[in-house]
Amino acid sequence: MRRAPGRDGSRPLHYRRGVPPADDPGTPLTGGVVKRVAALADGRELVYYDDADTALPPGRRIDERTLDARPPTASIRQDVLTGDWISIASARQGRAFLPPAEADPLAPQSPGNPSEIPDRYDVAVFENRSPSFGPDLDASDPASGYASAALAELADIGLGRSRPAVGRTEVVCFSPETRGSFGTQTVTRARTVVEAWADRTAALSALPGVQQVFPFENRGEAIGVTLHHPHGQIYAYPYVTPRTHRLLDAIERVGADLFARLLDAERSEPRLVLSGEHWSAFVPFAARWPIEVHLLPHRHVPDLAATSPEERDELAGLYRSLLRGVDAMSDGDVDADGAPADGTPYIAAWHQAPVHVARDTVRVMLQVTSPRRGPGRLKYPAGSEAAMGAWIGDLVPERTAEHLRDAIGRAS
């Protein structure tokens, strides 16, 4: 296996020590965002994304911690009954679990908190210390057609099949604050996060062995969140995910213009909740979850890396408004202790086209889902959903769209 970039000593000295120099101009990106590449004490990649109106200086402090060696790359095993690949990543058992704010591992380092990020930041992205995929990458020669060969091999099915879980798992910190979400950020900060997603999608798609790139945000303890810090993650998978395989089957049966037809239909329905020049959000016709919203670009775009600066500008504000509306649907809720609920629990998932196939038919799509089915009430996927994949919707999608439009209005 080939190790991920940044572990072979090939970086200039200041980057190997984990810090951009004070005179580093960085890399200008769209929207006025500036990218600065560094490394953590154990060699993991760290990337700072500075806001267009940042007050931070170019230089960053060195990560001076002494860290244990990274765990070995996990394995993926195939379920012969479905063909699905399952990552067996036992190192994840040691990750932080709801630490107090003063021990937040995603806050900038301080004398009392040797966290993962050595200096102040606007937005920061780094390799997960206990990843589900990686740090090893596929050692095959890209010129040898390894991508198509790997996809064909992965599509086979049989007993006892396993292989290394190559790829990458990254953490995306939306803010240095210790609580919040994407929706609680300013529009400027939201634009920086969108730029980071687009840049990381391009970078991870270029890594050997990566077949699909998936940015997402988990919000709320009901979802299983273990850190309240405003952050998301990006998985760079060594296979095309089961959800995407089902989508590819649907496109083959319905037609290559499936997304265009879907968007045209939904934009004329009462389930539409937000629309701009470049993006529209709607509650889907057959929503599985009590709260479920899809967001699509108006033109065919396979992933966030392929979006235009204008599309990213609009997305920052529109997506922020959508999530603030989702949060407002929990106004008046209380938690198990009787305290006001900290927003609506949700999963915000960016479904992107696979890296090597279906780029001209799969359109990037955001899917926001929440198990909240009423004040203090959650939907738990149980017998029918979890065991059979046969979903039963608790709420009428048209009514959900009406409530969400009202909540967006209250939150604006």
pLDDT the model gives residue 407: 95
Q: Reduced to 3 DSSP states, what percent helix, strand and coil does the chain have, rounded to the nearest 5?
A: 30, 20, 50
CA-CA-CA-CA torsion for 183, 186, 189, 193, nearest 10 degrees? 20
Looking at domain 243-411, does it have CATH number 3.90.580.10?
A: no
pLDDT the model gives residue 13: 43
pLDDT the model gives residue 127: 97
Q: What are phi and psi of 134, to 5 degrees?
A: 90, -175
- Could you tell me which of 277, 385, 75, 320 has the C-alpha nearest to residue 190? 320
pLDDT the model gives residue 152: 81
Catalytic residue, chosen from 228, 231, 300, 351, is: 231
Each residue's pLDDT tens digit in the chain (412 positions)? 555 544 443 444 444 455 676 778 899 999 999 999 999 999 999 999 999 999 999 999 999 999 999 999 999 999 999 999 999 988 766 666 677 888 899 999 999 999 999 999 999 999 999 899 999 998 775 555 656 677 788 889 999 999 999 999 999 999 999 999 999 999 999 999 999 999 999 999 999 999 999 999 999 888 888 888 999 999 999 999 999 999 999 999 999 999 999 999 999 999 999 999 999 999 999 999 999 999 999 999 999 999 999 999 999 999 999 999 999 998 767 555 554 567 899 999 999 999 999 999 999 999 999 999 888 888 988 899 999 999 999 999 999 999 999 999 999 8
- Could you tell me which of 54, 55, 36 has the C-alpha nearest to residue 46? 36
State the burial class of residue 406 (Cβ atoms within 10 Å of its Cβ: 0-12, 13-18, 19+).
Answer: middle
Rg (CA), the chain: 21
CATH number for the domain formed by residue range(s) 13-234: 3.30.428.10
Reading the block at residue 328, the tokens are 């407002």
Enumerate the CATH 3.30.428.10 domain ranges in the chain, comma separated. 13-234, 243-411
pLDDT the model gives residue 9: 39
298 is catalytic: no
- Could you tell me which of 208, 202, 230 has the C-alpha nearest to residue 304? 202
Q: Is 369:289 a contact under the CB 8 Å cutoff? A: yes
Bridge-partner residues for 377, per DSSP? Answer: 374
Q: Is 287:368 a contact under the CB 8 Å cutoff? A: no
CA-to-CA separations, 232 to 28, 91, 197, 368, 401, in angstroms, rounded: 23, 19, 10, 13, 25
CA-to-CA separations, 313 to 110, 158, 277, 320, in angstroms, rounded: 34, 46, 11, 11
Under 8 Å CB-to-CB from 49, ≥6 apart: which residues?
29, 33, 34, 35, 36, 122, 123, 124, 125, 192, 193, 195, 196, 199
